[in-house]
Amino acid sequence: MLKTEAVDVERIRRDFPILKRTVHGKRLVYLDNAATTQKPQAVIDSLVDYYSRYNSNVHRSVHTLGEEATAAYEGARGKVTRFVGARANETVFVRGTTEATNLVRFAWGEKQVKKGDLLLATRMEHHSNIVPWQLLAKSKGATLKFVGITPDGNLDMEELDRLLGESPKLLAFTHCSNVLGTINDVANVSRKAHKAGATTVVDGAQSVPHFPVDLSALDVDFYAFSGHKMLGPTGIGALIGRKALLEDMDPYEGGGEMIREVFDDHSTWNDVPYKFEAGTVNIADAIGLGAAVDYLTSIGMDKVREHEIRLLDYARETLSKVKGLHVYGPEDSKERSGLIAFNYADVHPHDLATILDEEGIAIRSGHHCAQPLMRCLNVSATSRASFHVYNSYDDIDALKQGIMKAGAIFKV
Amino acid sequence: MSSADIYRELILDYYRNPRNFGKLEKFDISAHDTNPLCGDEIEMQIRVGENSKIEEIKFSGRGCAISQASASMLTELAKGKPLEWVKLVAKEDVFKMLGDPELGPSRVKCALLGMKVLKTGVYGYLGAHYEDPEPGT
Ligand SMILES: Cc1ncc(COP(=O)(O)O)c(C=O)c1O
């Protein structure tokens, strides 16, 4: 197996038990990392360890198990916070990116957005950073408008400036597109938005897992990401919010833990971030996310990024030899993340995915929860191969072989 | 069974040269649906003739080879048949029509989208309601 120099792939692969399995008798070639990543043994062990050694509810029990569980849960919060350069008490544990944007929609939006207000999203958003704002606009009588993209797959900065001129309340945009791979200049866009008086909600689902993110340098109001896309468990993610905003917001869900005092006719709220964590939280998976952060940190996010750039370069070169294959998104690998969305002749992505599956290769096919973007690209679906640190040049060679096989079956 | 068997000549032919593709100027029945998983899209239009027969039928849409071929083949089967025939069509008939390919659960949805649209339209016209036995993704 060829090394990419940035990391020792062979050694890393040994940390991921699932990579030993076969699919249809073939070696598993997992290239669907933008949908969800595989989990290293250390993450799996952290879940087993919690359930078999110190399973207990957090924050309310004074017994030993309760203290240990609370320490581990809050320890995980600290790890996640430092990992993205956030400040203490700004990290809210949520189910994932989708719950994070919905939390902002309810807890911030219900209070701040008024009839006639303008909300902005971009055409490269995942549905999770569009639909909540559509719902908010509808319930408030506000308007939702979209910033378009340029033919090379970047945000249309002229349109952004023009729409910011209409004094929007909100700008929702992604750090990194899950289809085009485009990495947006978050600091710059957010600064522009702030100048226009808008609050920013940034989708970090495809950035935090793949390259170093330092929120202290990005000047955003809300930032969301999902644990399961960064080697952690499903069902856990984070919303990072500016403390002053979080404090000013109403609660998201009501129940236990999020209150300070409850009376017959009213209640007072717990401090941030607990105000937004009603009920028994997802303790095990938060701890698992902490373990994932430890694992990524031990490799180094700069190394993960370097590895993915090399894979991307290699994939682009390899796939450029396939006639009839069209890749979407920016040209320069340094301006995009480690994923490639493409179409191959008239082979529909679903048919391609079925043929590749038979070779043990997992890719994503479809609209990638980004239908407005699909419309921009004038396609109904694309195929997408997305990488993480355990992928190798061999995986890309296998992908090319699989595509060639599809070409033979479809007589391309 | 391998994908070479799924994508046999017949399916590829219907995918690339769909029969009864297009829209009818005058129609009595029209139905449309998408497959939320992949965005496959099928619309069917039917003109009803004497004795409640399917006089004309056309489909349009876009999607994978399986969904498009299946819809196209179904329109060929349906043409000239009484509307009541549509009630008798079962998924096994569709699979047989496609050459009994071995499809995973997600691809079965693609294969059955045409039938779902056809049934939805015709049941509605007959004053009945077609309940998809496996709704959603
Ligand atoms: C860019 C982007 N945003 C948001 C999401 C939604 O994440 P989740 O389903 O974990 O809430 C995804 C992944 O599906 C994504 O790729």
Residues A326-352 have a mean pLDDT of 94
- E-only strand ranges, A44-198: 91-94, 118-122, 143-147, 170-174
- From A174, A169, A173, A198, select the one nearest A121 (Cα to Cα): A173
CB contacts of A367 in chain B (<8 Å) are 38-39
CATH 3.90.1150.10-classified regions of chain A? 9-30+300-409
- Residue A377 structure tokens: 């690209």
In this complex, is the C-beta atom of B38 within 8 Å of any C-beta atom belonging to chain A? Answer: yes
Nearest to A350 among B2, B4, B38 (CB): B38
In this structure, are residues A208 and A225 in contact, taking their beta carbons and an 8 Å threshold?
A: yes
In this predicted structure, what is the pLDDT of residue B136? 60
Does any ligand 1 atom lie closer than 6 A to the CB of residue A221? no
Contact assignment for A409 to B3 by CB distance below 8 Å? yes
Proportion of chain A above pLDDT 90, given as a percent: 92
Report the alpha-carbon distance of residue A164 to residue A104 in Å, rounded.
Answer: 20
In this complex, is the C-beta atom of B108 within 8 Å of any C-beta atom belonging to chain A? Answer: no
Residue pLDDT, tens place only, B18-76:
999 999 999 999 999 998 777 789 999 999 999 999 999 999 999 999 999 999 999 99
Looking up tokens 């090319």 gives A400
Q: Is the pLDDT of residue A4 over 60?
A: no
Does any ligand 1 atom lie closer than 6 A to the CB of residue A337? no
Let me know the angle formed at the C-alpha of A12 by A8 and A17, rounded to the nearest 5 degrees.
Answer: 155
In this predicted structure, what is the pLDDT of residue B37? 73
Residues A203-232 have a mean pLDDT of 98
Confidence of residue B82 (pLDDT cuts 50, 70, 90): very high
Residue B62 burial (CB < 10 Å; 0-12/13-18/19+)? middle
CATH number for the segment(s) A45-297: 3.40.640.10
Closest chain B residue to A402, measured at CA: B3
Q: What is the CA radius of gyration of chain B?
A: 14
- Residue A386 structure tokens: 């997305």
CATH 3.40.640.10-classified regions of chain A? 45-297
Report the alpha-carbon distance of residue A404 to residue A162 in Å, rounded.
Answer: 45
Let me know the angle formed at the C-alpha of B33 by B30 and B37, rounded to the nearest 5 degrees.
Answer: 170
Contact assignment for B110 to A350 by CB distance below 8 Å? yes
Does any ligand 1 atom lie closer than 6 A to the CB of residue A90? no
Residues A45-50 have a mean pLDDT of 98
Active-site pick, A369, A376, A377, A396: A369
Contact assignment for A350 to B64 by CB distance below 8 Å? yes
Residue pLDDT, tens place only, A127-155:
999 999 999 999 999 999 999 999 999 99
In this structure, are residues A331 and A319 in contact, taking their beta carbons and an 8 Å threshold?
A: no
User: Considering only the top CATH level, what class is B3-128?
Assistant: alpha beta
In this predicted structure, what is the pLDDT of residue B1? 54
In this structure, are residues A141 and A109 in contact, taking their beta carbons and an 8 Å threshold?
A: no
Residue pLDDT, tens place only, A263-273:
999 999 999 99
The overall average pLDDT reported for chain B is: 92
| φ, ψ dihedrals at A397, nearest 5° | -60, -40
Domain boundaries, chain B: 3-128
Q: How far is B44 from chain A (nearest CA, A)?
A: 19
Distance, CA of A96 to chain centre: 8
Domain A9-30+300-409, architecture per CATH:
Alpha-Beta Complex (3.90)
CB contacts of B4 in chain A (<8 Å) are 409
Active site residue A369: yes
Contact assignment for A346 to B12 by CB distance below 8 Å? no
Q: Is the pLDDT of residue A1 over 80?
A: no
CA of A127 to the centre of ligand 1 (A): 8
Contact assignment for B7 to A410 by CB distance below 8 Å? yes
